Chains A and B, each alone.
Chain A
Amino acid sequence: MSIENAVADAGCQDRQVRHERGQRAVFCGLTSIVWLHRKIQDAFFLVVGSRTCAHLIQSAAGVMIFAEPRFGTAIIEERDLAGLADMNEELDRVVNRLLERRPDIRMLFLVASCPSEVIKLDLDRAAQRLSANFAGSVGIFSYSGSGLDTTFTQGEDTCLASLVPVLPEAGRDAPRSLMVVGTLADVVEDQFARLFRDIGLENVHFFPPRDSQHLPPVGENTRFLLAQPFLTETARTLQRRGARHIPAPFPLGEEGTTGWLQAAARTFGVPDERFEAVVAAPRERARRALSAHKAKLEGKSIFFFPDSQLEVPLARFASRELDMTLAEVGTPYLHRQHLAAELDLLHKDVVICEGQDVERQLDRCRQARPDLTVCGLGLANPLEAEGLATKWSIELLFTPIQGYDQAGDLAELFARPLNRRGRLEV
């Protein structure tokens, strides 16, 4: 099954990328609901799918920590499969019941899944139909989180892309504005907002917003910075509305954060002296925070299984700021353009592997015996049992890791598994 071909894939970065196809151990896009629902606080995510989808979200997300989460599943049953017309009625009934139960919901996402895609249930049309019924009170959207189309973080991409068409229009005479695209923890968002203010940027918006009533405007005078590397479709739809992408590394670590902020500062004509003056203190803090962890991590090898598409920026951070060596950098998908600045910073010999054949990758990992393996939840304990220290990649999504003041926390995430091993005598 695996079509494994290490292609001499000479692009602008002139580096080898191994492409792999086979069994993938990656969550599907539905799982991104778990952080999206926390970010957009008046939104509800309704997966239209099977019992498997409901079980996935419950198991993968540990749903039961929420009193009543703002997401759920409309489970397709045997009788729904009998006829599609009936199924649309069923969906309307479920949505009506849901919105009656939760009058606080302002934005509802119908999330397509593998089964709903295969039976070609048209959720875009359902969303339009329902939008008409709830006009003015609830905005109803649809996007795909199906494992047929998306892995893990790509669900955020398809979700945000579905919102781009309804962003308010910023006209030609609108002042130049910066849009930061990608879900960030509120604390990180606030830190960035302060830094942008201090370097003199006035019109800064974050997308997604914390609540659905504050969608940022977009237009020809909008410049956007990606805060996450997995937002391919969102970037494309924003560009279609006239916004322009600011190429930058991602704001991980001291170096990435500086590069990211500086890209915005230069775009908006902020004098270098002013920029340096504003970031000097937080940069220094970040370096200080990193130094303690660096002492423990330098020279250690790290292996990334593909998961979130954060792998390349994380690998850059680990190798350049912590002096770790990169055994393999797996990523489900490599967007060369968005990652150009990151790839420029990575050593040419680093093995980047796009896609996955999990059994072969496990073989390589065992062969390499890295000091630390970053992998999904399903692989972590078996690798620990084989004597390899692991870090759950999902933590890198759920923990605030971006920006200067989180650089130390990010390093600590890598250091902790090794630290723990050092403590245990059993």
Chain B
Amino acid sequence: MQLTVWTYEGPPHIGAMRVATAMTGVHYVLHAPQGDTYADLLFTMIERRDKRPPVTYTTFQARDLGTDTAELFQAALAEAYERFKPQALLVGSSCTAELIQDDPGGLAEALGLPVPVIPLELPAYQKKENWGAAETFYRIVRTLAGPRQGQERPKNERPLANLLGPTALGFRHRDDILEITRLLDSMGIGVNVVAPLGASPADIQRIPDADFNVVLYPEHALSTAQWLERAFKQPYTKTVPIGVTATRAFIAEVAQVAGVSADVTERTRLPWYSRSVDSTYLTGKRVFIFGDATHALAAARVASKELGFQVVGLGTYSREFAREIRAAAAEYGVQPLITDDYLEVESAVRDSNPELVLGTQMERHVAKRLGIPCAVISAPVHVQDFPARYSPQMGFEGANVLFDTWVHPLMMGLEEHLLRMFREDFEFQEAPSHLGAAPQAPKEAPVAREAAAATAQAAAVAVAARPAESSGTAAAPVWLADAEAELRKIPFFVRGKAKRNTERYAAEKGISNITVETLYDAKAHFSR
């Protein structure tokens, strides 16, 4: 048993729903108790879809368990087919139905429906959402495109690619497709099928017509792409085009696979914005990164190589891609964090003392609590992560978006400069409103008391997070009056950090009274 409050991924049948909802002309009949229908709101509320997901739940209840839930499943399936007339059906169980072992696949076959029925085996007590999405997509492609194995691929006038991996409820998938389609078009390459997002069963059957596959989201599409390579000799791209350097690498890879020129106009401002004087202040900003593997890996690269940040933490909840994350972490000289326990992530964020967090919705809340700026880079997502504007993460426009969204939570260079100049002015006693996070600096409360409280609180949380270590924490260091006065002279927007660093330094050195000397010793210790 795993104790959790938050979970990064839902169960695998939610992954299957993400695929089914992304597509057209399919319907998913899910053997599930009432209550599992909550999943509809992920799509209608969080993603603001204007249609219900194409899912029929059997919604069995306790009284049905004594009788025949198998019959209930068959009735629901027959009725769903009659009502929706899909071109293909998916059938499967949620976690509870898995336990009652009704075998939706077998039951569906017995009905003899006139469309392909794809049974999904998604072990709910072993696997999770992204695996469920990948498995579902693979099963669909295998069932619908599989029969064409051994047939010749048609000669295409211009190279054709499939874009694989975007689903419903994905992080900016909708916009990434558009961006990559435009990029490929500028290279003279057409898009054959985008799947699963927007694809019908008929489209899936056409997948083998393309010359190669572009794997946009390996979490969902890698197993399918590997199978397509074996079955149809379709090569697939390994680079995920997030950030300028990866987009360039992607273009080179595509050019080689498709046999076209890699000469593409780079419509991006990121390189110049990064080089502009204002960006000087970005130098070495400490950034903590956590998300799905694809977005976390990309974020680490963009942060360090394109924005000049220092990666101080890198992790993922995608255990399937742990190896890649470990390799990248080694490159940045940090400990990889492979976990789906948000408490571990929270303590890692606190321990690494970052100035910016790039994470999921959960890290956004963790960062908010810790008073650290944050930008969301990956699912799990919330309604604000489906913006009305065009906002891709991939390609050159994606790079522009990354610059804006990651840098805006921070203080801009010019702003920092002006605040320094006018810091004595009463107008600037508060942090600029757009930073959102409350400044950690004390206002009325005496620093000493607040520091003690903050440290006690941090200790309490740390103890809470790791019950094994329990008590034994040294008493919180106390700020002496002169040190407290000195701390107040530090500009408020770095004062919180100075305070935390000093206390951390004092705790590490076993110093109980913080003096002016301690403050400057700590400054020297942490200076970079």
Report which A residues bind B (CB closer than 8 A): 1-2, 22-31, 48, 50-52, 54-56, 58-60, 62-64, 67-69, 71-78, 80-81, 87, 90-91, 93-94, 97-98, 100-102, 114-115, 117-119, 146-149, 151, 359, 376-382, 384-385
Contacts and interface: CB of A to CB of B under 8 A. Distances in A.
Given A28-B33, A75-B7, 10 more contacts: A23-B56, A24-B34, A51-B9, A55-B10, A75-B3, A81-B99, A118-B65, A151-B34, A379-B44, A381-B49
Interface stretch (B257-265, B361-369, B479-487): B361-369
Interface in B29-69: 33-42, 44-46, 48-52, 56-62, 65
B430 interface: no
A31 B14 CA distance: 18
Contacts of A94: 1, 3
A37 to B, nearest CB: 12
Contacts of B100: 118
Given A1-B75, A23-B58, A94-B3, A147 B95 contact: no
Interface stretch (B119-127, B192-200, B214-222, B272-280): B119-127
Instruction: Name, among A23, A31, A81, A146, the residue most crowded by chain B CB atoms within 10 Å (CB to CB).
Output: A23
B50 A385 contact: yes
B520 to A, nearest CB: 34
Contacts of B464: 101-102
Contacts of A149: 61-62
Nearest to B466: A101
7 contacts: A52-B94, A55-B7, A59-B10, A67-B369, A75-B7, A90-B1, A382-B52
Interface residues of B, number: 61
A289 B40 CA distance: 36
B61 A51 contact: no
Instruction: Name, among A2, A27, A93, A114, the residue most crowded by chain B CB atoms within 10 Å (CB to CB).
Output: A114
A51 B5 contact: no
A75 B4 contact: yes
A119 B101 CA distance: 12
B60 A54 contact: no
Nearest to B83: A359
Contacts of B7: 51, 54-55, 58, 73, 75
Contact of A64 (B33, B125, B365): B365
A68 B51 CA distance: 33
A402 B126 CA distance: 45
B128 interface: yes
A81 B101 CA distance: 14
B33 A381 contact: no
B interface secondary structure, majority: mixed
B11 interface: yes
Nearest to B3: A94
Contacts of A60: 38, 41
B436 to A, nearest CB: 15
A55 B11 contact: yes
Contacts of A382: 44, 49-52
B6 A58 contact: yes
B467 interface: yes
A62 B76 CA distance: 30
Contacts of B467: 97, 100-101
Contacts of A30: 35
A91 B361 CA distance: 29
Contacts of A22: 59
A78 B3 contact: no
A299 to B, nearest CB: 29
A77 B1 contact: yes
Given A1-B75, A59-B46, A377 B125 contact: no
Contacts of A48: 1
B283 interface: no
B44 A378 contact: yes
Contacts of A98: 3
A77 B14 CA distance: 17
B37 A24 contact: yes
Contacts of A28: 33-36, 38
Contacts of B94: 52
A56 B467 CA distance: 27
B40 A115 contact: no
A76 B123 CA distance: 12
Contacts of A75: 1-4, 7
Nearest to A64: B365
A57 B260 CA distance: 50
A1 B79 contact: yes
Interface in B82-116: 83, 94-96, 99-100
Given A23-B56, A52-B11, A381 B44 contact: yes
B36 A64 contact: no
Contacts of A376: 41
Given A55-B11, A148-B60, A76 B34 contact: no
Interface in B427-449: none
B382 interface: yes
